[in-house]
Structure formats: structure tokens, C-alpha cells
Amino acid sequence: MRPINLDQKLGLFSDHWSPKVISELYGQHAKLVKFRGEFVWHKHDAEDELFLVVRGRFRMDFRERSAWVETGELIIVPRGVEHRPVAEEEVAVLLFEPATTLNTGDAADARRVDRPEWI
């Protein structure tokens, strides 16, 4: 029951598209991740995802539209919705999603993280 300092945790890694678990609540993981560039189009059939921008900004692409998400803003992607995060510059994001969620969802991609590291 200690506060978690997001800046301190973000300083522990520099890799992109590799979420790190920082806490767990009711079977949900809070994860920190850094994005840069385009991710793979994917969806999660059984999980909703919450993306909260800690630093920077990114664009969430959906097949029918896109939405920019700025520092201090969040976006929720409902289960079954195909999406692709894109960051022109590095962005730091807090994810909140079920512990079973694979970062690449239904897509086969080299950036898939089967067991995210705890930091």
C-alpha cells in the first residue's frame, strides 16, 4: 500500500511497445508503456482497454476514424473494436486492462508480449 510514482517507473525502461505491469486490481493490470511509430492493427474479443496519456500524445486509429489523445486524456477501446495506436513522437501511456490481455490482441506480430515484466 505505497504510492506508485509513474515518472520513476517510466525511467526504468526505454523500449517501445513493451508494456510493464506496475500494479494489479481485481484481475486487472495497470501497465506503463512507451509508444513510438505505428503499432499493428488488432482487436481484443474479450477485453476492453483504457489508455491514459501520461506524457505526449498519440493517435488512436479505428477503421472508420481516428482520435488524438493528449496528455491527461484517456480513451477506452471496447472489446471487439479494431484499433491501432500511432505516435509521431514518443508517448508514455498507462494501460488498464484485464491481466490476460495480449498487447497485440488477435494479430500475430513480433512485438507480442505474452508475459509482461513487473517493474
CATH topology assigned to domain 6-118: Jelly Rolls (2.60.120)
Whole-number percent of the chain with pLDDT over 90: 87
Query: Where along the chain do its domains lie?
Result: 6-118
User: Residue 20 pLDDT more than 90?
Assistant: yes
* CA distances, 69 to each of 8, 11, 40, 94 (Å): 22, 22, 18, 12
| pLDDT of amino acid 31 | 98
Average pLDDT of the residues in 84-94: 98
pLDDT confidence band for 55 (50 / 70 / 90): very high
Coil, helix or strand for 9?
helix
- Residue whose C-alpha is closest to residue 16's, from 113, 106, 102: 113
CA 44 to chain centre: 13
How many angstroms separate the CA atoms of 5 and 22, rounded? 10
pLDDT confidence band for 84 (50 / 70 / 90): very high
| pLDDT of amino acid 57 | 98
How many angstroms separate the CA atoms of 110 and 68, rounded? 26
Contact, 78 vs 14, CB < 8 A?
no
User: Residue 110 pLDDT more than 90?
Assistant: no
Average pLDDT of the residues in 15-28: 96
Stated as kind and residue range, the H or E segment containing 23 is strand 20-25
User: Residue 103 pLDDT more than 90?
Assistant: no
How many angstroms separate the CA atoms of 11 and 74, rounded? 21
The structure's pTM equals 0.93
